[in-house]
Amino acid sequence: MLTDKLTIVLGERDGIAGPAIAACVKAAKGEVAFASTECFV
Amino acid sequence: MDLQSQEVIKRLAEEHGADRLLVLLGAPDPEAAEIAAETVVLGDPTYAGALAETQLGLEVYHVLEDDIRMQIPPEVFEEQIGVMADVLDAAGLAEAVAGMRAKRP
């Protein structure tokens, strides 16, 4: 699934941050099209 | 969801096609995960962003769902996500996102 799709990463500061998820996708040989870390306050 | 993120997602869907995209969430609780998933499946429920009344129907998962986790090398998952997998309500997050995934048009 990760290898045949372009991944959009929507991390959150209070959950799991975008760069951490993006690193997981890349390690799974996936391609990240966009990554952000959102912050709800 | 950030308005800027909504604009980028809409543009990516137009450029690559919705079928080509996968959204991964890192939301801390089921409610936040459900709202984020709803935004990329049915449109922005707050009607504030570019995805208002835009049903992209994107495939969306939380990164803690088993279907995603099993594809990530365990040592990388542990290094990048580690203890958050134990702290967050993985079952609740999975249920919330799966419920919205089932509403894809």
A21 touches chain B (CB under 8 A): yes
Note whether A33 contacts B76, CB cutoff 8 Å.
no
Is there a domain that residue A1 lies in? no
Q: How many CB pairs under 8 A join A and B?
A: 106
Centroid of chain to Cα B81 = 16
Tens of pLDDT along A25-35? Answer: 999 999 999 99
Domains contained in chain A, number: 1
CA distance A26 to chain B (A): 9
Is there a domain that residue A31 lies in? yes
pLDDT of B100 above 90: yes
pLDDT at position B86 is: 93
Name every residue whose Cβ is closer than 8 Å to that of residue B14 and which is 6 or more positions away in sequence.
none
Is there a domain that residue A25 lies in? yes
Q: Across the beta sheet with B21-25, what order do the strands follow? A: A31-38, A6-12, B21-25, B59-62
Domains contained in chain B, number: 1
Q: How far apart are CA B7 and CA B25, in angstroms?
A: 17
What's the complex ipTM? 0.96
Q: Which domain holds residue A27?
A: 6-38
Is there a domain that residue A32 lies in? yes
Q: Is the pTM of this model over 0.90?
A: yes
**Using CA atoms in the order A27, A30, A36, A38, what is the torsion angle rounded to 10 degrees?**
-80
Cβ-Cβ contacts under 8 Å, B22 against chain A: 1-2, 5-8
A34 touches chain B (CB under 8 A): yes
pLDDT at position B105 is: 87
Q: Which domain holds residue B49?
A: 3-101
> Coil, strand, or helix at residue B71?
coil
Q: How far apart are CA A25 and CA A34, in angstroms?
A: 12
